[in-house]
Copies of this chain bind each other. A is one copy, B any other.
Amino acid sequence: MMPPPLPSADNIAKAARLIDPVFTGSPLMTHHSADDALGLCLFAKVETLNPIRSFKGRGADYWMARQPASSGAVVAASAGNFGQGLAYAGVKRGRPVVIFAAKNANRRKIDAMRRLGATVILEGNDFDGAKAAARAYAATQDLPFVEDGAGPEIAEGAGTIALEMTETLNQRGIALDAALVPLGNGALLTGMGAWLKAAAPACRVIGVVAAAAPAMKLSFDHARLETTATAATIADGIAVREPVPYALDCMRQVVDEVLAVDDPSLEAAMTFCRDHYGLIVEPAGAAGIAALLERGKLLAGRTVGTVLCGSNVASA
């Protein structure tokens, strides 16, 4: 089988026109108090104010828009945000959506997926366990299994975030020196990286993992697939033990560096978002800010972009 093509800037531009507008056109927040605290100029794309409170609607809606018309069910695994996106996109098109989530998944995310119309099955002890169960179920039932991070469409949908950032900043005559992007399965980072390398090649593309779930960083740094035994971080949205090989292939083309941040930095980043932007952001969604809190001095005085990519905290 041919490997799937890499995410392309052309398809990202196409996705920007196809994705349901409830998910696009998000604010690009900047605030003088945040910039003063960090010692740099930060533009934060706020992906928390849509009907699923995360960026995942972009990729899920674009993926589904690119499928042949069908009323058949689709199966996926999710920590909770991708499942909400797929449920939203499915309901709109009359396609049942079956989501496998880990037995210990974030309850609010599970409730939200069900409320949006998904059938949610709890199986496995973590995200990767749920994914194995989803894959097996889809094979048994002969249903399509969609794996977040494993093909270009979902990354291309997420890449529209970078397209909107560069459009807005170009209008103001501003260029990004670096983009700090939370890294879980890789769809957000590789989609944004594909756009930035084409449209803003001087921008350094940096992924951020939780130090307690470092599989993607280890795999990127060592240029080989590495899994970890656990992924015990508060950042459930990026708690990956088993990297998606396709995402790693893409990362090699468009990512310059991967940083790891501690859980206390993720907590400090959540507080930072609340104080300076008035936003509740989930731990994974604040990973870019956490990296700036740990290592921002390296970017002192620079113009930096990040994505506050989700706000489905376990409890508010």
0 or 1 for each of A65-98: is its CB under 8 Å from B? (1 = yes): 0000000000000000000000000000000000
Does A48 lie at the interface of the complex (its beta carbon under 8 Å from any beta carbon of B)?
yes
- Smallest Cβ-Cβ distance to A311: which chain B residue: B278
Q: Is the CB of A33 within 8 A of B281?
A: no
Q: How many residues of A contact B (CB 8 A)?
A: 31
Q: Is the CB of A31 within 8 A of B46?
A: no
* Chain B CB within 10 A, most for which of A29, A49, A313: A49
Docked Cα-Cα span, A278 to B36, in Å, equals 24
Q: Is the CB of A49 within 8 A of B36?
A: no
Closest 8 CB pairs of A and B: A278-B311, A278-B280, A27-B49, A275-B316, A29-B49, A48-B278, A32-B115, A274-B316
Chain A residues engaging chain B, CB cutoff 8 angstroms: 21-22, 25-27, 29-33, 36, 46, 48-51, 53, 112, 115-116, 171, 274-275, 277-281, 311, 313, 316
**Would you give 26 A-B contacts (Cβ < 8 Å), ordered by A?**
A22-B30, A25-B25, A27-B27, A27-B49, A27-B50, A29-B49, A29-B50, A30-B51, A31-B51, A31-B53, A32-B51, A32-B112, A32-B115, A32-B116, A48-B278, A49-B49, A49-B277, A49-B278, A49-B279, A274-B280, A278-B280, A278-B281, A278-B311, A278-B313, A279-B279, A279-B280
